């Protein structure tokens, strides 16, 4: 596992904790991008409460797991997506149309692919979850 990709490490930790039935996971290191992605997952009811904890070794996130994640991951490399190419990536990363979310970084902020399609925005793919 690459230690210089905090997004990928976070999704691995979440998925591993979900698969063994844990109720919470700790994510370290923290970043603004990762926090926004976790908030989107929380808003879409994949994660419970998200707490940022500060201690002597640095900050970390404490996540409440709801047992709703089947698969999640960071998308590497961060591919560009246009308004007309979302469907191609939905087929690649999600099980079925309307099942799960792809998180996209657009020029109007980080959002799900559904919101980006509604606003007719392209961007870069960050992560997926279902």
pLDDT at 4 (0 to 100): 82
pLDDT confidence of residue 97: 86
- Residue ending a domain, choose from 18, 47, 65: 65
Looking at the structure, tell me whether residues 58 and 80 fall in a common domain.
Answer: no
Q: Residues 81, 126: contact at Cβ < 8 Å?
A: no
What is the domain range of residue 99? 75-129
Instruction: Tell me the C-alpha distance between 14 and 1, whole Å.
Output: 14
Q: Say if residue 82 is in the same domain as residue 38.
A: no
Position 121 scores a pLDDT of 97
Q: What whole-number distance in Å separates Cα of residue 115 and Cα of residue 33?
A: 18
What pLDDT was estimated at residue 2? 55
Q: Closest by alpha carbon to 129, among 65, 82, 84, 85? A: 65
Overall number of domains in the chain = 2
pTM for the model: 0.93
pLDDT in tens, the chain (130 residues): 457 899 999 999 999 999 999 999 999 999 999 999 999 999 999 999 999 999 888 899 999 999 999 999 999 999 999 999 999 999 999 999 889 999 999 999 999 999 999 999 999 999 999 9
Residue 86 and residue 49 in one domain:
no
């Amino acid at each position: 596992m690459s230690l210089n990709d905090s997004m990928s490490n976070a999704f691995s930790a979440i998925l591993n904790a979900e698969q063994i039935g844990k109720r919470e996971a700790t994510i370290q290191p923290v970043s603004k991008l990762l926090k926004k992605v976790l908030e989107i997952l929380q808003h879409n009811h994949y994660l419970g409460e998200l707490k940022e904890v500060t201690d002597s070794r640095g900050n970390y996130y404490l996540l409440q797991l709801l047992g709703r994640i089947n698969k999640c991951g960071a998308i590497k490399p961060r591919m560009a997506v246009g308004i007309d190419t979302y469907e191609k990536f939905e087929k690649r990363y999600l099980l079925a149309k309307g099942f799960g979310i792809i998180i996209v970084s657009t020029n109007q902020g980080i959002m799900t692919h559904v919101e980006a399609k509604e606003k007719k925005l392209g961007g870069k793919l960050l992560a997926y979850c279902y």
